[in-house]
Amino acid sequence: MPSLHRVIVIASGMLATTLASAAVLKIDLPKESATTYKPGPNLELVNARCLVCHSADYAAMQPPNMPRKTWEAEVTKMKKVYGAPIADEEIATLTDYFAKTYGNEAAAKP
């Protein structure tokens, strides 16, 4: 059975390692990273359906050239795989927003 002193030494060693890796592990988030969705068609519905589990960061991190089909697959995945509370008839409306706002149909990129 290790002495108490030894246990404390091991524990503080682990803490030092944790602190050191925390300092090294610096994550650079994309510039446009945001917690809210960009203005666009049916933003209210998007906010109601797509902020339940995570911020808008995941959408902002997607490649800007994503076509409508890919966004539709993304919205469908949120519903089918992660159980997002989205009605079937809302998928098209949500997809339209993402294609036009974050996808390759956006007129002007920030």
Q: Does 34 bind ligand HEC (CB under 6 A)?
A: no
Q: Does 74 bind ligand HEC (CB under 6 A)?
A: yes
| Distance between CA atoms of residues 7 and 76, nearest Å | 51
**Who's near 98: CB < 8 A, 6+ residues apart?**
46, 59, 66, 71, 74, 75
Of the CA atoms within 13 Å of residue 34, those in its CB half-sphere come to: 9
Q: Does 45 bind ligand HEC (CB under 6 A)?
A: no
Q: Does 62 bind ligand HEC (CB under 6 A)?
A: yes
Q: Does 70 bind ligand HEC (CB under 6 A)?
A: no
Question: Which residues of this chain interact with ligand HEC, rule CB under 6 A?
Answer: 49-50, 52-54, 58-59, 62, 74-75, 77-78, 82-84, 86, 94, 98
